[in-house]
Amino acid sequence: MTRRFFGTDGIRGLTNSEPMTAQMALRVGQAAGVHFSRGDHRHRVVIGKDTRLSGYMMESALVAGFTSVGMDVVLLGPMPTPAVAMLTTSMRADIGVMISASHNPYFDNGIKLFGPDGYKLSDAAEKAIEDRLDQPPNLAAPASIGRAKRIDDARGRYVHHAKSTFPDRLRLDGLKIVVDCANGAAYHVAPDALWELGAEVIPIGVSPDGININDGCGSTRPEQLQESVVASGADIGIALDGDADRVIIVDEAGRITDGDQLMALIALEQQRRGALKGALVTTVMSNLGLERRLTDAGIDMVRTQVGDRYVLEKMREMGCNVGGEQSGHIILADHSTTGDGLVAALQVLAAVVDSGKPASQVLAQFEPVPQLLKNVRFQGGAPLEQQSVQQRIADAELELSGRGRLLIRKSGTEPLIRVMAEGDDSELVARIVDDICEAVARAS
């Protein structure tokens, strides 16, 4: 099923360039509004955004689109993606929208859509909305045009929800936590939730100005968090990304813990409590060391293609309650319908508090197999279809046969070819990745 605009996580691109224009946002609002107008009730859409300067423009355009086809709009303001998903269901909305480009720089933006059940849309639903973009909008009669309303307590509703996932018998008293909110959507809610649970909170990345989202901060740039944790003598550090659907943890020594280690910890804790349902679902990017650790513990691991939506689809298909990605998208189906960085961090904090041990002794659950990922930006064409690139990939697979894995894929959100290899021989892994990257660069 080919989609023109929707990628692995909604529509995303450079702001004021196709497809990320105000005109497109208007059309998406009209098309999605008609697609989800079912039944004779008053239809409602919930819209949240991160802190990008272009969020105001995209929000206004979406409001115009939805109201023009008769949908009422509830505006949440800056809120994490998982909060939008949660509030879509709690407010009985027909559709939820998050305006964000996640971990991308401020000059990008995106539109993520959620159905009335709080889940991201299927490929088929996105394709149906795309097909409507080419059709004249089904405009409402003047008396049926939608209304827009901004609610002030959305922040508190989400903080309450996040706190409810933390065990009642535990508190964060005595724990010093540095939280990096990436100057993004969680800049209020994450520090508030941690403080209300008793922690001493040192917030960084909480001064958004429209252009500093993810700029030298957050889960993709954790250096400032590492320095702050060590300098302040904190017990642990938490880094979220721009829309707070992913998380990276730093221990008291400033060492980074990625999503694979966090998923291992959470799955093993769930298993210990008898709460783990089925397998751990992750993607082809997850480290072989994670798979080995889970196998030793008697836990199955199922891989999907890259994208948290595909992880979630497999989780729902198999009835699993823990899944995610190495990047820090962690889905806990007992609490959320999508990745939630704050909720995942609270489960990690619960394990640390419960153990009575330093974070460094709790977070590292397995020895990672040497893994290297590099990105090659291309200007156009199809470098992976070039004979020279295909031959180099075939040679690399032969070299790694029985000793590791090779994964080559095109990014679903950026013009990048991602080259990943892993194996017990780190020198071999590095050489293979460099050779393939060079071949791709020459072919692009």
The tens digit of pLDDT for each residue in 337-396 reads 999 999 999 999 999 999 999 999 999 999 999 999 999 998 777 889 889 999 999 999
- 413 confidence band (pLDDT: 50, 70, 90): low
Q: Are residues 95 and 47 in the same domain?
A: yes
Q: Are residues 111 and 16 in the same domain?
A: yes
Per-residue burial over 23-34, b = 16 or more CB atoms within 10 Å of its CB, e = otherwise: ebbbbbbbbbbb
Q: Are residues 251 and 262 in the same domain?
A: no
Which residues are within 8 A (CB) of 257 and not within 5 positions of it... i.e. 6 or more apart? Answer: 248, 249, 250, 251, 363, 364
Active-site option among 54, 100, 102, 228: 102
Share of the chain above pLDDT 70, in %: 99
Q: Are residues 334 and 383 in the same domain?
A: no
| pLDDT tens digits, 175-232 | 999 999 999 999 999 999 999 999 999 999 999 999 999 999 999 999 999 999 999 9
Q: Are residues 247 and 261 in the same domain?
A: no
CATH number, domain containing residue 392: 3.30.310.50
Q: Are residues 320 and 410 in the same domain?
A: no
Q: Which amino acid is located at 310 in the chain?
A: Y
Coil/strand/helix, residue 371: strand
Q: Are residues 404 and 268 in the same domain?
A: no
On whether residue 169 sits in a domain, the answer given is no
Q: Is there a contact between 167 and 269 (Cβ–Cβ < 8 Å)? A: no
Q: Are residues 238 and 261 in the same domain?
A: no
Q: Identify the residue whose tokens are 């697979």.
A: 397
Q: How far apart are CA 199 and CA 175, in angstroms?
A: 5
- 410 confidence band (pLDDT: 50, 70, 90): confident
Coil/strand/helix, residue 9: coil
On whether residue 268 sits in a domain, the answer given is yes
Q: Are residues 431 and 324 in the same domain?
A: no
Per-residue confidence (pLDDT) for residue 2, from 0 to 100:
65
CB < 8 Å & 24+ apart, contacts of 168-175: 170/350, 170/353, 170/354, 171/197, 171/198, 171/353, 172/197, 172/198, 172/199, 172/349, 172/353, 173/198, 173/199, 174/198, 174/200, 175/199, 175/200, 175/235, 175/236, 175/349, 175/352, 175/353
Output the six-digit token pair for 70. 């008769």
Where is the domain boundary, 218, 233, 255?
255
Per-residue confidence (pLDDT) for residue 302, from 0 to 100:
97
Give the single-character DSSP code of 8. Answer: B
- 281 confidence band (pLDDT: 50, 70, 90): very high
Residue 76 has φ and ψ, to the nearest 5°, of -95, -20
Average pLDDT over residues 317-343: 97
- 161 confidence band (pLDDT: 50, 70, 90): very high
Where is the domain boundary, 255, 280, 314?
255
Q: Are residues 60 and 142 in the same domain?
A: yes
Instruction: Say how many domains are in the chain.
Output: 4
Q: What is the mean pLDDT of the chain?
A: 95
pTM score, whole prediction: 0.90
Q: Does the active-site annotation cover 232?
A: no
Per-residue confidence (pLDDT) for residue 382, from 0 to 100:
86
Per-residue confidence (pLDDT) for residue 381, from 0 to 100:
79
Per-residue confidence (pLDDT) for residue 307, from 0 to 100:
85
Residue 341 has φ and ψ, to the nearest 5°, of -65, -40
Sheet holding 371-377, edge to edge: 371-377, 416-423, 404-410
Average pLDDT over residues 327-340: 96
CATH number, domain containing residue 11: 3.40.120.10
- 404 confidence band (pLDDT: 50, 70, 90): confident
On whether residue 421 sits in a domain, the answer given is yes
Range of the domain at 383: 371-443
Q: Identify the residue whose tokens are 């070819």.
A: 417
Output the six-digit token pair for 182. 């990436």
> Which element (helix H / strand E) includes 128?
helix 123-133
On whether residue 349 sits in a domain, the answer given is no
Residue 379 has φ and ψ, to the nearest 5°, of -90, -20
Q: Are residues 263 and 273 in the same domain?
A: yes
On whether residue 348 sits in a domain, the answer given is no
Which residues are within 8 A (CB) of 23 and not within 5 positions of it... i.e. 6 or more apart? Answer: 61
pLDDT higher than threshold 80 for residue 303: yes
